[in-house]
C-alpha cells in the first residue's frame, strides 16, 4: 500500500484543525488503496493548537506533529514537514480549507500514474481579498517573471502533490532563506496545475499581513534573481557618466564666464541629493543580498523542535506497511 504524507503548517488554528481533519478523512475513505499519514507542524502557536492536534492524534496513530520552540515561519514549517514525511507521495495543504480537499484524488492519481511528477493548484480569482493585495500580488508575479530565470505561475498555491523523487530534490536545497514557490519551480520535474476559484477560510484569521507578504516577496526576488544587482551596476555607470558631463560643464562655464560660479546653488543641491539617494538605494539593495549571505554562512538551524510525537515508521519500498507500526 502506497503512503501519502499530508503536510499541514499551522499557526493559531485550533478551530480549523478538527474541521480540516474531518474533511480529509472523507477523502481518505475514497482512496482506500492509499495509506495516509498526517504531519501537523505547529509553528509556535500561542493558542490551543497543539492540544487540538494531540486530541486527534490520540484516536488516530497515523497523525504526527512537530511543535516549534517559537515561530520560525511557514517556510520552516514546510521544510520540517518535507524532511519528516515518509510517504511515497507528499501533499502540502493549508489547514483553513482554502485548498479544496476535493481536488486531492485527481492530483494524487495524476502523479501516481507516472505522467506527472507533481500536480499543483492555482487560484483564478481572489474574491474576498483586498484589491490592494491583489494588485501587488499580480505586480510581483509580473516583476519576478521578468527578472528571474525561474518561472513563477501567477496564483499558484503551495497546495500540491509531489512524487518522492521531487521531494528528495527539494530537500537537497537546504538553504536558510527559503522561498518554496521558487524552489518547487527551480527543481524542475513535470508539473501541471489545476485551477479553482478562491475559497474563504472556514475559521480564524489569516496571519499573513500586507507587511509580511511584502517581505516575503522581497525574499523571493533576492533568492531567485540577481537583476537588482545588475540594475545597480547600470545605474552606477549612468550616474558616473552624468557626473563627468556635469563636471565638464562646470569647468567650461568657470573658464568662459569667470565670476558666475555663485549661480546655480539650487541645481547643485538637487544634483547632490540625487546622487546621494542613488548611493543609499544601491547600498540598501546590496545590503539585502549581504544579509542573506550572512544568514546562510552562520548555518543556523532552519527550525528548532520543542515537541514531537514518537515516530518509528520508516519508508520502505515494495513492502506491506504494518498498520500497528504506522505511528
pLDDT at 210 over 70: no
Q: Show the domain range for 43.
A: 2-209+301-325
Across 184-191, average pLDDT: 85
My answer on whether 235 and 278 are in the same domain is yes
pLDDT at 3 over 80: yes
Q: Does the residue 214 lie in any domain?
A: no
Helix (H) or strand (E) holding 159: strand 156-163
My answer on whether 34 and 160 are in the same domain is yes
My answer on whether 95 and 189 are in the same domain is yes
Alpha-carbon radius of gyration of the chain: 26
My answer on whether 49 and 171 are in the same domain is yes
Give the orientation angle of helix 74-84 with respect to helix 164-172, to 10 degrees: 130
Residue range 73-96, pLDDT digits in tens: 888 888 999 989 888 999 999 888
Confidence of residue 314 (pLDDT cuts 50, 70, 90): very low
My answer on whether 159 and 271 are in the same domain is no
How is residue 2 written as a grid cell?
Answer: 502506497
How is residue 314 written as a grid cell?
Answer: 520508516
Give the orientation angle of helix 210-224 with respect to helix 131-147, to 10 degrees: 10
Confidence of residue 209 (pLDDT cuts 50, 70, 90): low
Residue of 64, 116, 58, 117 lying closest to 86 (CA atoms): 64
Give the total number of structural domains in the chain: 2
CA dihedral 54, 57, 59, 61 (to 10 degrees): -150
Residue range 249-300, pLDDT digits in tens: 766 776 676 665 556 665 666 677 677 777 777 777 777 777 777 777 777 7
- Mean pLDDT lowest among 28-37, 156-165, 285-294, 299-308: 285-294
Beta-carbon count within 10 A of 315 CB: 13
Residue 192 to residue 10: CA distance in whole angstroms: 26
My answer on whether 35 and 160 are in the same domain is yes
Q: Which burial class, exposed, middle or buried, applies to 184 when counting CB atoms under 10 A from its CB (0-12, 13-18, 19+)?
A: buried
Confidence of residue 39 (pLDDT cuts 50, 70, 90): very high
Q: Looking at residue 310, what is its pLDDT?
A: 56
Residue 68 to residue 308: CA distance in whole angstroms: 9
- Contact of 147 with 75, CB cutoff 8 Å: no
Residue 42 to residue 36: CA distance in whole angstroms: 19
How is residue 228 written as a grid cell?
Answer: 537588482
User: What percent of the chain has a predicted confidence (pLDDT) above 70?
Assistant: 79
pLDDT at 40 over 90: yes
Q: Does the residue 271 lie in any domain?
A: yes
Q: Which burial class, exposed, middle or buried, applies to 152 when counting CB atoms under 10 A from its CB (0-12, 13-18, 19+)?
A: buried
My answer on whether 161 and 246 are in the same domain is no
Across 7-34, average pLDDT: 88
Mean pLDDT of the chain: 78
Across 99-116, average pLDDT: 88
User: What percent of the chain has a predicted confidence (pLDDT) above 90?
Assistant: 8
My answer on whether 52 and 33 are in the same domain is yes
Length of the chain: 327
Residue 182 to residue 136: CA distance in whole angstroms: 18
Residue of 86, 89, 85 lying closest to 118 (CA atoms): 89
- Mean pLDDT lowest among 171-180, 299-308, 316-325: 316-325
My answer on whether 268 and 305 are in the same domain is no
My answer on whether 55 and 93 are in the same domain is yes
Q: Does the residue 123 lie in any domain?
A: yes
The domain spanning residue 22 has which CATH number?
A: 3.90.550.10
How is residue 80 written as a grid cell?
Answer: 520540517
My answer on whether 140 and 271 are in the same domain is no
More confident residue, 142 or 214: 142
Amino acid at each position: 500500500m502506497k503512503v501519502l504524507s499530508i503536510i499541514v503548517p499551522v499557526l493559531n488554528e485550533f478551530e480549523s484543525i478538527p474541521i480540516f481533519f474531518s474533511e480529509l478523512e472523507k477523502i481518505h475513505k475514497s482512496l482506500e488503496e492509499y495509506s495516509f499519514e498526517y504531519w501537523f507542524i505547529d509553528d509556535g502557536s500561542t493558542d490551543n493548537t497543539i492540544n487540538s492536534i494531540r486530541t486527534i492524534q490520540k484516536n488516530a496513530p497515523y497523525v504526527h506533529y512537530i511543535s516549534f520552540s517559537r515561530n520560525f515561519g511557514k517556510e520552516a514549517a514546510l521544510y520540517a514537514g518535507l524532511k519528516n514525511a515518509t510517504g511515497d507521495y507528499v501533499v502540502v495543504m493549508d489547514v483553513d480549507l482554502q485548498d479544496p480537499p476535493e481536488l486531492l484524488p485527481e492530483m494524487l492519481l495524476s502523479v501516481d500514474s507516472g505522467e506527472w511528477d507533481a500536480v499543483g493548484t492555482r487560484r483564478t480569482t481572489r474574491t474576498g481579498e483586498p484589491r490592494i493585495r491583489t494588485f501587488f500580488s499580480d505586480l510581483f508575479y509580473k516583476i519576478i517573471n521578468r527578472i528571474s530565470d525561474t518561472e513563477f505561475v501567477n496564483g499558484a498555491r503551495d497546495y500540491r502533490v509531489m512524487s518522492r523523487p521531487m521531494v528528495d530534490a527539494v530537500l537537497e536545497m537546504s538553504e536558510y532563506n527559503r522561498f518554496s514557490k521558487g524552489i518547487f519551480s527551480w527543481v524542475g520535474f513535470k508539473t501541471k496545475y489545476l485551477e479553482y476559484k478562491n475559497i474563504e477560510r472556514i475559521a480564524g484569521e489569516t496571519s499573513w499581513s500586507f507587511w509580511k507578504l511584502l517581505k516575503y516577496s522581497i525574499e523571493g526576488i533576492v533568492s531567485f534573481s540577481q537583476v537588482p544587482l545588475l540594475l545597480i551596476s547600470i545605474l552606477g555607470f549612468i550616474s558616473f557618466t552624468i557626473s563627468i558631463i556635469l563636471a565638464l560643464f562646470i569647468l567650461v562655464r568657470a573658464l568662459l564666464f569667470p565670476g558666475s560660479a555663485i549661480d546655480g546653488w539650487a541645481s547643485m543641491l538637487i544634483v547632490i541629493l540625487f546622487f546621494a539617494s542613488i548611493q543609499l538605494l544601491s547600498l540598501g539593495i546590496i545590503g539585502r543580498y549581504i544579509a542573506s549571505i550572512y544568514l546562510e554562512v552562520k548555518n543556523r538551524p532552519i527550525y528548532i523542535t520543542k515537541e514531537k510525537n514518537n515516530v518509528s515508521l520508516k519508508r520502505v519500498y515494495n513492502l506491506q506497511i504494518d498498520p500497528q507500526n504506522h505511528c
